[in-house]
Chains A and B, each alone.
Chain A
Amino acid sequence: MNTGIIAIAAAIAVMTGIGAGVGMGLATGKAAESVARQPEATAKINQVLLLGLALTESTAIYGFVIALIILFVFGG
């Protein structure tokens, strides 16, 4: 198969990173805001933030895994 087309397909697959980046930025911004408002709840906010970041990040990871599969399985 055409190597260039495979590379472009992998590049499109990792575009899931755009959404994950925006989402993680929003979540972290909100967390910073709430820590500023309620510094005594920092531990609790951190826990929720980490869980949320893990779930948000997984979309980017799925894209990355798909890109890897495209590159290494089809690209040979």
Chain B
Amino acid sequence: MFEFHLDPPRISLPIIGGVTISVTLLNALIASAILIALAAIVRVFLLRRFTDEPRGVQTVVELMVDGIQRYTDSRVGAQAGASLAPYIFTLGAFVVCSGLLEFVGLRPNMSDINSTLTLSLITFALIQVYGIRKRGLWGRIRLLARPKPFLAPIMLITNLAAPVSLACRMFGNILGGFIVMELIYSVMVLKFGIPAFLSIYFSLFHTLMQAFIFITLSLTFIDEVLE
């Protein structure tokens, strides 16, 4: 019988006399730890060995940083892109890393609506920050009155719906893939071998696709208040 709960299961960690956290939060913490360790390794051991002619790891690092920088610039322009690219890289790395942890058996972080809503609220705050920095507080409010002033309430709802739609999209997609994989694992005949191929689509492809879409939509929303 297939048993599934929308609320992630809770486990207690043996630190400070037993702290109870959800599995998805544990996943987020592990993903953060992996990313911090990788960043520290690149910063401490690899960066001093970088040369003008990139070789080996340096090529990969430069390719990633340069690719994100160029993609951000192409979406929001070079001025906002300079300060936005680090956030976009962090977002993408975190989403992909916490999604890939599904392969070691942890429930993906993004199948908890709290995580996706957190990320989309950060994006929402950035939209307002960039809008206010570009045209001032009054200018940002007046942006709601375009194209016609009487449409302002609808525009307000559209603006407020952006974080909800971002959060629900990622949550639904990742949770959908996760439920399908759990269903496959719950059937005895399908348990061996077959999940290896299906998880390429339902775990890997879904995660990469959602990370890309989240990034693209964040940049599109920010570009909307900048132009």
Given A50-B213, A54-B213, A72-B5: A65 in contact with B168 (beta carbons within 8 A) = yes
Number of B positions contacting A (CB below 8 A): 17
Q: Which residues of B contact A58 (CB under 8 A)?
A: 165, 168-169
A73 to B4, CA, bound (A): 12
A65 to B6, CA, bound (A): 11
Q: Which residues of B contact A62 (CB under 8 A)?
A: 168, 172
Q: Which residue of A lies closest to B214 (CB)?
A: A54
Query: Which of A51, A57, A65 has most B Cβ within 10 Å?
Result: A65
Shortest B207–chain A CB gap in Å is: 14
A57 to B212, CA, bound (A): 14
A1 to B11, CA, bound (A): 31
Interface residues of B, dominant DSSP: helix
Shortest A64–chain B CB gap in Å is: 5
Check B217 for interface membership: any CB of A closer than 8 A. yes
Q: Which residues of B contact A50 (CB under 8 A)?
A: 212-213, 216
Q: Which residue of A lies closest to B113 (CB)?
A: A65
Given A61-B168, A62-B172: A72 in contact with B213 (beta carbons within 8 A) = no
Q: Which residues of B contact A54 (CB under 8 A)?
A: 169, 213, 216-217
Check B115 for interface membership: any CB of A closer than 8 A. no
Q: Which residues of B contact A73 (CB under 8 A)?
A: 6
Check B124 for interface membership: any CB of A closer than 8 A. no
Check A68 for interface membership: any CB of B closer than 8 A. yes
Q: Which residue of B lies closest to A73 (CB)?
A: B6
Q: Quick one: CB contact mask for A51-76 with B, threshold 8 Å, 1 for yes?
A: 10011011001101100110011000
Check B128 for interface membership: any CB of A closer than 8 A. no
Residues of A within 8 A of B (CB): 50-51, 54-55, 57-58, 61-62, 64-65, 68-69, 72-73
- Report 21 cross-chain contacts, Cβ distance below 8 Å, ordered by A residue: A50-B216, A51-B213, A51-B216, A51-B220, A54-B169, A54-B217, A58-B168, A58-B169, A61-B169, A61-B176, A62-B172, A65-B168, A65-B172, A65-B175, A68-B172, A68-B175, A68-B179, A69-B6, A72-B4, A72-B6, A73-B6
